[in-house]
Structure 1
């Protein structure tokens, strides 16, 4: 289970005790915000995309969506999401629980600048009912295979 892999990674870092396991779903931004008693914008949603055969996860604020023009300008390809039924196979995390932690080495992570306006954000931890509150430096530090900070979103 992906949550176990994230927990194991976080145990090595000394932060596993900060994982929040919820009784209700946090699979969508709205569900996560409600369960965590925070605003939707502070949910750090992780979306998985394909650029040719490369799987990229973009972590962004909960109140933004991909700006197709900015995405194509940065990646030189049209945004193509990983098909729902392939998400877990390609990222090792289930759809609704995708996060930037404990990823396979061939999955790249990009952090969107929309997150930088917050002191802390809540990314998932590999399941549809988990999260952790991290400051932006921690998010960057604990995320796997971080490639860059990008600006590829716009307000939803």
Structure 2
């Protein structure tokens, strides 16, 4: 399981800062309050199980993932389900509330919803629920190896 120090070290090698807070940042609303931005600018990292296979979606805090678009983008079929907390930890290495898009397993598909492109920067978690990472969409692509897709509608 990667620690926040692992994430910091990885991102430092790419000249990307990790911001840490005393107040918790586990939701889009609490993270936005800590960062000083809108909830839409928070890049939430979500794990889904599609036909029992995991896929990660990174999207804006004001967006909702559409199952049909997720299945098509991931090339998977079957029922789309939100996992249990222990599944999130198993597949991502992070606990819910602090899941970040960095240092994920190589076999875990990462889908980057293009809704994030409307912002100069978005703020992702850094592996715990007291952190934020300011990144551009291009940096997210580079740092995660994620695939740009359209899988969301406004919540």
TM-score by length of structure 2 reads: 0.89
Equivalent residue, structure 2, for 1:107: 108
Equivalent residue, structure 1, for 2:44: 45
SS at structure 2 position matched to 1:76: coil
For residues 112-136 of structure 1, the C-alpha deviation after alignment (integer angstroms, 9 at most, x for no partner) is 0111111110011111111111111
- Cα 1:73/1:103, change in 2 over 3 Å: closer
For residues 19-56 of structure 1, the C-alpha deviation after alignment (integer angstroms, 9 at most, x for no partner) is 00011111000100111110010000000012345321
Q: How does 1:7-156 map to 2 (within 5 A)?
A: 7-15=8-16, 18-74=17-73, 75-143=76-144, 145-146=145-146, 148-156=147-155
SS at structure 2 position matched to 1:98: coil
Residue pair 2:25, 2:131 contacting (<8 A) in 1 also: yes
SS at structure 1 position matched to 2:4: helix
Aligned length: 152
Residue pair 2:42, 2:124 contacting (<8 A) in 1 also: yes
Note the C-alpha offset of 1:69.
Answer: 3.2
Note the C-alpha offset of 1:5.
Answer: 1.9
Gapped regions of structure 1 (runs ≥ 5)? none
Residue pair 1:54, 1:106 contacting (<8 A) in 2 also: no
Note the C-alpha offset of 1:154.
Answer: 0.8
Residue pair 2:26, 2:97 contacting (<8 A) in 1 also: yes
- Cα 1:77/1:53, change in 2 over 3 Å: closer
Gapped regions of structure 2 (runs ≥ 5)? none
- Cα 1:73/1:142, change in 2 over 3 Å: closer
- Cα 1:101/1:20, change in 2 over 3 Å: same
Distance 1:47 1:56 in 2: 8
Distance 1:12 1:68 in 2: 35
Report the RMSD for the aligned CA atoms in angstroms.
Answer: 1.6
Distance 2:55 2:72 in 1: 15
